[in-house]
Amino acid sequence: MNLVSPTRMTITALVAAVALTCAGAAGAQPSGADGLALARQKNCMSCHSEQRALLGPALRDIAAKYASRPHAQTYLARKITDGSSGVWGPVPMPANTQVSAAQAATLAAWILSLK
């Protein structure tokens, strides 16, 4: 039988906990490539571009408009999932029911990082 000392087990558990915490923190702010990949996967880029307006506003323009607002990420995440109309012109943005709340928060954080 292979026994592990309590000290070694505690150190192993501590290292695992730190690794999980760091991984979670790293996931909180998506990299540009991760945010863009998710935006492409969820078809955001069909109507939006990072730099220029297409059917919807440029993502950098959205970031510039909302970045200084308190709770901007929560606001944008809700707009992503629920849709919106009249804010950026006559073309409404439909609700994105295929986007989870966590994905919407990730997309919103990425968009705000484009400012």
Q: Is residue 11 part of a domain?
A: no
Q: What is the CATH number of the domain that holds 92?
A: 1.10.760.10
Number of domain units in the chain: 1
Answer yes or no: is 45 within a domain. Answer: yes
Average pLDDT of the chain, as a whole number: 81
User: What's the predicted TM-score (pTM) here?
Assistant: 0.72
Model pLDDT for residues 31-48, shown as the tens digit of each residue: 678 999 999 999 999 999
- Neighbouring CB atoms inside 10 A of 43's CB total 12
Domain annotation covers residue 39: yes
Q: Tokens 């006559």: give the residue.
A: 90
Task: Report pLDDT digits (tens) over 63-80.
Answer: 999 999 999 999 999 999
- The per-type count for the chain, helices as H runs and strands as E runs, is 5, 0
Containing domain of residue 104, as a range?
A: 30-113
